[in-house]
Amino acid sequence: MTNTIQQPVLDVRGISKRFGGVKAVNNVSLKVMPGEIVSLIGPNGAGKTTTFNLISGVLPPSDGQIVFQGRDTAGLKSSDFARLGIGRTFQNLALFRQGTVVENLLVGRHIHFRYTAMESLMFWGRPRREEIAAREKVEQIIEFLEIEELRDKPVSQLAYGQQKRVELGRALACEPSLLLLDEIVAGMNREEKEDIARFTLDIRDEFGVAVLMIEHDMQVVMDLSDRVYVLDFGMLIAQGTPSEVAADPAVLRAYLGEEVSHA
């Protein structure tokens, strides 16, 4: 019987990013395997969001290689990353505030539209089929995120936690294989955090989507993560299970800014 070696969904190999003379990210390597929830943590200014920007194609790396589902992503545009299957939420909400929930979620479907501008004028055949499929997918996401009563409301009228759900839904509308969550529970109350944690687990378990998240809430990290990577000053200083990382002296120094006694 032959054992099948599982390939990473994401394989980041020694990436660095320089801004002038400053190395915001310095020789960082990490992997996300199928079915995993992986966290990237570290103090403010550690390089986490820059790493996300490199992985999602917002920025090109100065050095190193990013391989997604076996494909080297060098030279691709940021829109290509979404088409490949990388969905992302942002630390600062990037929604169309005057648009409705449905309209915002449909934005996430645009990468799947294949009809031409001329075909769209007719709205028949392929344009009509793709629009119907997009709306069906959006309705599935609305039901999954339990926001049916909000579907026709402008995003500007929603509470912050509800807006975060819409942002998550828009990322899901891309039908990603890898979901990047950038501080998805920041600013939420306990109940809202528990809801997002539940949705994150369901996204992994029901949809088969691997998750890489930046998160400052250590309870969320400990509860959800299979593995954790820790950055400090742009460098990877620790990796392992949540319990291993929580007990690592280098991690404690990075967060507490002091030597850790083992007395």
Q: Which domains does the chain have, with CATH numbers?
A: 10-256 (3.40.50.300)
DSSP alpha helix (H) spans, the chain: 48-55, 78-84, 101-107, 117-122, 126-144, 160-173, 190-207, 218-224, 242-246, 249-256
Task: Give the pLDDT confidence score for residue 48 in this predicted structure.
Answer: 95
Per-residue pLDDT of the chain (263 residues; tens, 9 = 90+): 455 678 999 999 999 999 998 999 999 999 999 999 999 999 988 999 999 999 999 999 999 999 999 999 998 888 888 889 999 888 766 677 789 999 888 887 765 545 454 454 455 455 666 677 778 888 999 999 999 999 999 999 999 899 999 999 989 988 899 999 999 999 899 999 999 999 999 999 999 999 999 999 999 999 999 999 999 999 999 999 999 999 999 998 888 765 444 33
Task: Give the pLDDT confidence score for residue 8 in this predicted structure.
Answer: 96
3-state secondary structure of 31: strand
Task: Give the pLDDT confidence score for residue 6 in this predicted structure.
Answer: 85
pTM of the complete model = 0.86
